[in-house]
Structure 1
Amino acid sequence: LDTKGRDPSNGLIDWLNSNIFSRYCAPDNSRTFACLVFGSGTYVVLIQIRQYILKNLFSYHGWMYQEHGKMSGIGPKVWGGLVKLFIGRNPSLYSYQSVLPTLPLPNLDDTLRRYLRTIRPLCDDTEYRRMEVLAEDFRRTIGKKLQRYLWLKWLISTNYVSDWWEKFVYLRGRSPIMVNSNFYGLDAAYIRPTTIQTARGANVVCAAFHYRSELDHQETKP
């Protein structure tokens, strides 16, 4: 592999050819295999670099504080341009799922602090002091052990919450999903195509399955 007197592999192809493939293959085939290995390795390295860059780009949160539909400031604009450059022209819905940042795992003290801050408006002083005692008791006893188990789950999963949420919160609850979950559907917000209740219900079901089909076939834009 030589381009205008330059070796793009910086001698790596020759090294692979002379030290590995020439021992087991014919001279013509050994150089071909060396070129294939070098090309494949280069491709894998470039893909990994691209994945690393995308993972860092997707970790940027500055765009969340921009007005919808507008990008003000040099930082968000540069970020948006780099994202478009590295994801390509027509990405599928789940094509970059693997490079999304993992859900961070808060430490035990932060979790208890946020818990107490959340329940403070719901408790009077006596009840809140009781919850403080229980939180401290949890931290000193079983809390550290459970935190270690959670850390192990965080290591081997992309989202340590999603499966528990789906099983124990979303599916196990017996209350109506339409009014008790954050997912709901309406057949029309401003237009009522029909006053027949069964027809409207069938329309909602049909639209839901159509949307599910688009998700399964990755026809929805990411």
Structure 2
Amino acid sequence: MLVVLDLLGVAVFAASGALAAVHARLDVFGVVVLAAVTALGGGIVRDVLLGITPPSTLRQWPYLVVPAVVALLVSRWHPAVARLRRGVQLADALGLALFVTTGTAVALGTGAPAITSALVGVITGIGGGVLRDVLLNEVPTVLCREIYALAAAAGAVVVVAGDAVGLPQLPVTLAAAGLVAGLRVLALWRRWNVPAP
């Protein structure tokens, strides 16, 4: 079940990367590359930071096929996908929640300290989007608007705190994922942004 949810998160992040690539007028190869980087970038950075080599997503073929298929579908039917903006944003919030909480749990499972595990969890969630924006020569969205990284950090802290006091991992992970997704959806609904100077 966890693999299915993980692949769903990969698909959603791939769609977001593919839509950004279409908007930037990249060719089909560029759309596939940007979709894969957005979907897998955070997990690859996580694994490299934790010394898991080769990264787990590069060892299992579904993690490479799903972003490619999603990218090709988006490049073919991008006007229809773009109209589903709210649905994509909701799915993105769920993908963020899943990636942050599993990334933090993976880091804790390798014996990384709590602060390191929380930071690795946040990087897992936001890393692909940051890489996407950098490749498109844009300031990463998480640095200039929207409550995205803060929601990720809140979820990572809940996972780390639950582990520190010895709570069962599954309920803590689900609660943390609910917090991340809830904060993200609430911020989108209320149009909250982090204050700028």
TM-score, normalised on structure 1?
Answer: 0.27
Q: Which has the higher contact order (CA 8 A, sep 6+)?
A: 2
TM-score, normalised on structure 2?
Answer: 0.29
The higher radius of gyration belongs to 1
More helix by share: 2
